[in-house]
Amino acid sequence: MNLNELKVKLDAMAEEARAELSTLERQDDLVQARNRYLGRKGLVKDLSAELGKLPPEERRLVGQELNQLKDAIEGAYDAQLKRLEERAREAALAQGAADLTLPGRGLPPSGGHPLIQIEEELIAIFRAMGFDVATGPELEADLYNFESLNFPADHPARDMQDTFFVEPLQGREDILLRTHTSPVQVRTMLKFKPPVRIIAPGVVYRHDDDQTHSPMFRQIECLHVDRGVTMAHLKGTLTHFVQRLFGPSTAIRLRPSFFPFTEPSAEVDVQCIFCGGDGCRVCSHSGWLEILGSGMVDPNVYRACGYDMDGITGYAFGLGVERVAMLKLGIPNIRLFYGNDLRFLSQY
């Protein structure tokens, strides 16, 4: 073969290979065809043998063209392979999409957050005793959170409930994140005359942070005002409540305490549910665990709410939901409630 014949042959083979490869529908056929051109005993190899027979100066020229031929065949092979793979992917997708009988991806079963579950349990116990549920805002006025509850502006009792004040809101500088649910007592008494029997669940805020104190936590307030309500009613209500919650033999005790809005005031402890009152690490070997603050409503609160106090008495208490949940579920660190760790949450 002379130079011209060889060139014509190269061009014809490039054309033929491109046409053939682009029509093959199966990957196996494609690989075979490629090998027929570029394999060790392939058609391109045969042409290379012809190359050796040309004079040296022509050899270089045709050598270049031979390389271009190889590239062209390789390129046609790659393009067709890509096309076939794309088509196979689309077919698989179309098949999957059309298969409406495939079972759906189920959501894992879940319960409510343990705190909310406990809160709902507590609310149900009080509702069964005849209490209505009242609510109030978390952004509260100083007037309701402190002033009407008999905390004068400079009273040191305010220090126990250090909180977060917010930027002046609609021109008002007396707005804070409420430190307890007790302002709902005031809001309720401003609206309704006795008899009043309400509980008020909700979120409250304080400048606190350790294993048993969180800057944001939940309380349930309770208020019962009527003619002839005494501390015996307070103790009876609380005893019934803890026995429904922790079991019928659970005892409570009232310890003298101070709140500006109750007189007398008492902290309420339950008999340690871990050791039954014998003393253990959880109750600091005292046999008792504090869960709430309580007392008889102070006459100054009635005055602030415009109540005619003739013959009217009442009790109130505020319990910490986290504290109760930690006892009930045996949880040692309050932060576990807020970590959103599914290993913790999925146990409840």
Choosing from 126, 295, 325, 326, the residue that interacts with ligand FA5 (CB under 6 A) is: 295
Size of site (CB under 6 A) for ligand FA5: 23
Beta bridge partners of 52: none
User: Does residue number 262 form part of the binding site for ligand FA5 (CB under 6 A)?
Assistant: yes
CB of residue 266 to ligand FA5, shortest distance in Å? 8
CA dist., res. 39 & res. 31, Å (int): 10
User: Does residue number 305 form part of the binding site for ligand FA5 (CB under 6 A)?
Assistant: no
User: Does residue number 235 form part of the binding site for ligand FA5 (CB under 6 A)?
Assistant: no
Choosing from 77, 146, 288, 317, the residue that interacts with ligand FA5 (CB under 6 A) is: 317
Q: Concatenated DSSP letters for 290-343?
A: EEEEEEEEPHHHHHHTT---TTEEEEEEEEEHHHHHHHHHT-S-GGGGTS--HH
Beta bridge partners of 254: 268
- Alpha carbon 267 to its chain's center: 33
Choosing from 80, 150, 214, 313, the residue that interacts with ligand FA5 (CB under 6 A) is: 214
The token pair that represents 201 in the structure block: 């669940």
Choosing from 322, 325, 326, 327, the residue that interacts with ligand FA5 (CB under 6 A) is: 322
- Alpha carbon 235 to its chain's center: 38
Choosing from 254, 290, 338, 345, the residue that interacts with ligand FA5 (CB under 6 A) is: 290
CB of residue 173 to ligand FA5, shortest distance in Å? 23
User: Does residue number 148 form part of the binding site for ligand FA5 (CB under 6 A)?
Assistant: no
CA dist., res. 130 & res. 144, Å (int): 25
The footprint of ligand FA5 on residues 151-180 (CB under 6 A) is 180
Choosing from 148, 182, 237, 313, the residue that interacts with ligand FA5 (CB under 6 A) is: 182
User: Does residue number 289 form part of the binding site for ligand FA5 (CB under 6 A)?
Assistant: no
CA dist., res. 239 & res. 198, Å (int): 18
What residues contact 147, with CB distance under 8 A and at least 6 apart?
Answer: 153, 304
Pick 37 or 246: Cβ nearer ligand FA5: 246
CB of residue 225 to ligand FA5, shortest distance in Å? 12
CA dist., res. 15 & res. 69, Å (int): 9
Q: What are the distances in angstroms from CA 165 to CA 105, 176, 182?
A: 46, 4, 18
The footprint of ligand FA5 on residues 98-117 (CB under 6 A) is none
CB of residue 347 to ligand FA5, shortest distance in Å? 21
Pick 34 or 178: Cβ nearer ligand FA5: 178
**Enclosing H/E stretch for 61:** helix 56-98
Pick 241 or 317: Cβ nearer ligand FA5: 317
Query: For binding to ligand FA5 (CB under 6 A), which residues are involved?
Result: 180, 182, 206, 208, 213-214, 217, 219, 259, 262, 290-295, 316-320, 322-323
